[in-house]
Structure 1
């Protein structure tokens, strides 16, 4: 992200998501019903059927008609300083702030968490790094809305319990901010498509962040794939095996039992993108 503060003109954006034969990603998703079920999203789907979907297609596979031009391949605006607002200062947000502060040209200008002690501790990190004291938002669960309304933020980073991700990403874009959200970015398929449409309409980037794409092993394989060491990649497989029992019952790790509750509501892989994220990178998908 880098010196023009104006939102790009949608009419000037390229549409690289259409293949040479005119097939768009949405058209593929609209007809590939089995893909939605294979990703395990069907049990989370909460949307209604769209009128343009093919007859008999599963609800999990249906994609709404495009309302704007793709953001794939659209660069961030150039800025001499990238101004960041952080929402959620638990273990993920509280550790990510150290990385933001370590990047030259990045300034943390606002922090939000209803737990005041966490916000105060994060604010001390900002001033200790030599930056001005950040604005803090601690007045309840919806104070993030006031952070997003600020005129001096370019990028909102969201690291909160999953139930809040969709509303926070939507609020950030509606207020003209780019947004990066820890996984999962939303919990229902209709919410996912709404975020895609909103990103394309507002010309704001909406990124699902995926830490497992950037481990040393994953980056090694990515370099090897791009160097052609595996030839043409036609098939990939990924998984996520992680014994979370120690963390789930650690009172100092999570603020309340919110994450543990998800494992009582659903069975299966709750982080499928940990597996398919790196594989998508190897295959240059999006």
Structure 2
């Protein structure tokens, strides 16, 4: 559906997009994000800022003989994504960034082992990603860092003229999301939220089958995401430090709503014709992390200072 037919990133963010980010929005966001687009509660709907450029929906990426990729963050996600980039014909990894030098060096060895030129490395400090984004030998920046950094890194990439893909969540506040939409439309650079549960093999195969009519007319869908992450969140070798676990002490809400909603929306072309007009989140007591801690963590573990509040589902 093109912009003239009434759809853009703006209409998605005003309705579905605002709700999808509910787990990562600031105080008071839940009421605004779940309000309907019209009706008696319309005054609570998030305001839409003036457009600064044309929508990027439907705009193709430029054709290139070689796509040059830079990766920011080389932990579990970035460190595994580099293997996929190196396996793709026509893709070259030209720059790497992580303040932990050992991770960057390990990733750089993968690049040269794949018979590609040694990549540039940016390891000076947590802001060295700005140096990577400013390079002239990059077309696409992949952001795979702790959530606090996603917005500033996506912004830096587009301001430097690069397309950017960001692991979820793409930002933590609603005004940041609007700023990224405006920046993408103004710079004509794509800002794509990367998500394994929306773009995995099965998740991409099913919408193709649906769009080819193999399931008839889809009238109802149910999506869910069930994944016990507690062992990983308490594992210091998987997540560097407690940053991932601490989000369950800061925010009430569904931290991964699009894992369940995204694929189902793609199957039914939601926001490509029909659009979501209301999303609600329902919380329950956060008992799982505390139970895991009681069963597995020693009395002197740092997690005993934490109080967990996040445990929710999105409907």
Gaps of 5+ in 1: 1-14
In 1, the alpha carbon distance for the partners of 2:242 and 2:155 equals: 25
RCO comparison, higher one (Cα < 8 Å, 6+): 2
Cα contact 2:164–2:192 (8 A) shared by 1: yes
Pick from 152, 170, 193: which aligns with 1:167? Answer: 152
- CA shift, 1:61, in A, is 3.0
Distance of 1:142 and 1:120 partners within structure 2: 18
Q: Relative to structure 1, is the Cα distance of residues 114 and 28 closer, same or farther in structure 2, using a 3 angstrom cutoff?
A: closer
Structure 1 pair 56–219 and aligned structure 2 pair: CA distance change class (3 A): closer
In structure 2, the gaps of 5 or more residues are: 273-315
Q: 1:80 maps to what in 2?
A: 65
| 1:139 alignment partner, one of 104, 124, 140 | 124
Q: What's the counterpart of residue 114 of structure 2?
A: 129
C-alpha distance in 2, partners of 1:158/1:42? 20
Match of 1:186 in 2: 171
3-state secondary structure, aligned to 2:4: coil
Superposition deviation, residue 241 in structure 1: 1.5
User: Taking structure 1 as reference, are residues 149 and 47 closer, same or farther at Cα in structure 2, changes over 3 Å only?
Assistant: farther
How does the TM-score come out when normalised to structure 1?
0.84
* CA displacement 1:192-241 (0-9 Å, x = unmatched): 11101100000000000011123344234223311213333344332222
Matched, 1:281 2:266: yes
1:68 and 1:37 map into 2 onto residues whose CA distance is 20
Shift of 1:250: 0.9
| 1:202 counterpart residue number | 187
Are the equivalent residues in 2 in contact too, given 1:41–1:189 (CA < 8 A)? no
**Deviations 1:145-183 (Å, cap 9, x if unpaired)?**
000110110000000000000000000000000000000
- 1:159–1:182 Cα contact (<8 Å) kept: yes
| 1:16 paired residue number | 2
Q: Distance in 2 between matches of 1:183 and 1:40?
A: 10
For 2:217, the equivalent position in structure 1 comes to 232
Q: Which moved more, 1:63-72 or 1:90-99?
A: 63-72
Count of residue correspondences = 264
Q: 1:136 to 1:201 in 2, by over 3 A?
A: same
Are 1:181 and 1:207, in contact at CA under 8 Å, matched by a contact in 2?
A: yes
Q: CA RMSD in A?
A: 2.6
> 1:25–1:115: structure 2 CA closer, same or farther, 3 Å change rule?
closer
CA distance in 2, matches of 1:139, 1:98: 24
Q: Shift of the alpha carbon at 1:117?
A: 0.3
